Amino acid sequence: MIVKTIKSYKRIEAIDITNTISKEAENIGNGIMLIYVPHTTAAITINEAYDPSVMDDLMEKVSSLVPYSKNYRHLEGNSDAHIKSSLIGNSVQLIVENGNLILGRWQGIFFLEFDGPRDRKIFIKVLR
């Protein structure tokens, strides 16, 4: 298992981690990478990396569907972040061939911070 650290700077932030994952893929040859987020107030998704406004739209829409509020049962004030995490999901799987990460033309990989700023981690597990 490979562990990578990620630093977020805002409460809600989409961080493009495509380059980090792509570099790890070089050593893999052929297989699948599981990218696993060990946190409960963050998520990971694959979406357009070319125009950053796509991620702005995603984060705004998710925040309007699940708004920040003190009116949840969980008393830490971050229930919205937990809910967003389960709606998006905490892992993605990626195909690697000949050391190349296989992504669609417009795809990038994004760590989604919903309760930052924080020091975060991702776990990478490779299967061949």
Residues lying near a second copy in the complex (CB under 8 A) are found at: 1, 31-32, 34, 36-40, 45-48, 51, 53-54, 56-58, 61-62, 65-66, 72-76, 79, 82-83, 85-95, 97, 102-107, 123, 125, 127-128
27 vs 53, beta carbon nearer a second copy: 53
Nearest distance in Å: CB 25, a second copy: 13
19 vs 86, beta carbon nearer a second copy: 86
Nearest distance in Å: CB 118, a second copy: 12
Q: Helix (H, G, I), strand (E, B), or coil: what is residue 42? A: strand
20 vs 63, beta carbon nearer a second copy: 63
Cα–Cα distance for residue pair 8/36, rounded to 1 Å? 17
Cα 6 to Cα 26, 45, 75, 86, 117: the distances in Å are 20, 15, 26, 20, 11
Cα 84 to Cα 19, 26, 66, 101: the distances in Å are 25, 32, 7, 27
